[in-house]
Amino acid sequence: QQMMRVILLLAAIAATCAIPTSPASKTSSVDDEIHLAFISWKNKFEKVYDGAEHLARFAVFKANMEIIRAHNALYELGEETFSMAANQFADMTAEEFKRTVLGYKPELKGKRLLQGLNSGKNCTHRSNNSTRPKAIDWRTKSAVTPVKNQGQCGSCWSFSTTGAVEGAWVVAGHPLISLSEEELVQCDTKSDQGCNGGLMDNAYAWIIQNGGIAAEDVYPYISGNGTTGVCHVAFLSKKVASISDWCDLKPEDESDLELALVQQVCSLHVCWFYII
């Protein structure tokens, strides 16, 4: 009987020692590592939430980290051309990102046409017969402002608009000025929808109608929290740059895009659903 008790005791010890190496324990360990990475990520990007929201966002973050891991494994094998890492959107689902950040709405073009504002045909670059350079970088020509951040607002259309107008203003012989996205977000509301999306063509038409656009330091960007706000009419007269027309490039025509880029900075919309 004593021998039997010893055997049972050893069996219990063996069973106890086997627990840490079970598949469930390995999963728990991985989850702990990912959660520590999540805490570090929250601190880095100053994310503040706890309780149920913390758990829900961690679940999304964990799923996105798995996308990153799988993609980077292919990158290491040479099957992808770029690597991925967690950015400030890594706690958002693709649907949340699309709803709150991707604000390009081509369907809004109809609203502008209904108002009789049918332009976008002044395509002077197509008559330019100069030789195309192998490369062109408008940053080296002081025609591009530093990178800006739209925040949690679907205002990408306004940033794309100001970027193109800033570059065109330089090509016309003026100094580079950072222009106001907020003026477009808050005041261009008949054809566009602020943080809920817009269209660059509509914004160009608005700038022409208004006689110009204000500088960013006069009308700074504050809609990054997702709230559009109200137009500050007093700033509408503070115009520092203007345009007379614009050109809609031919869809899926790289040659047309090349010709336009040789002439000036262009406004592009890139539909990109990877958010991490």
| For the chain, domain boundaries | 2-87, 100-263
CATH architecture of the domain with residue range 100-263: Alpha-Beta Complex (3.90)
pLDDT of residue 125: 80
| CA distance linking residue 122 with residue 108, whole number of Å | 20
**pLDDT for 149 beyond 80:** yes
| CA distance linking residue 103 with residue 271, whole number of Å | 10
32 vs 52: which has the higher pLDDT: 52
C-alpha radius of gyration, the chain, whole number: 27
pLDDT tens-digit series, residues 87-131: 888 998 888 887 777 766 666 666 555 555 555 667 878 777 667
Calculate the alpha carbon distances from 163 to 139, 156, 266, 267 in Å.
12, 11, 8, 7
pLDDT of residue 118: 52
Helix 156-171 to helix 200-210 angle (10° resolution) is: 60
Instruction: Find the angle CA(196)-CA(106)-CA(115) to the nearest 5 degrees.
Output: 90
275 vs 169: which has the higher pLDDT: 169
pLDDT tens-digit series, residues 36-88: 999 999 999 889 988 999 999 999 999 999 999 999 999 999 999 999 999 88
Helices (H) and strands (E) in the chain, counts: 9, 2
230: tokens are 């109200």
Q: What is the dihedral of CA 69, 72, 77, 78, to 10 degrees?
A: 160
pLDDT of residue 115: 54
**Confidence band, pLDDT 50/70/90 cuts, at residue 1:** low
Q: What is the 8-class DSSP label of residue 196?
A: G
pLDDT tens-digit series, residues 196-231: 888 898 899 899 999 999 999 999 999 988 888 899
Provide the phi-psi class of 174: left if phi over 0, else alpha when psi is between -120 and 50, else beta: beta
| CA distance linking residue 10 with residue 116, whole number of Å | 88
Contact 185/230 with Cβ under 8 angstroms?
no
- Amino acid identity for residue 261 in this structure: L
* Cα four-point dihedral sign 231, 212, 149, 99: positive
- Consecutive H or E run containing 240: strand 239-241
pLDDT of residue 24: 47
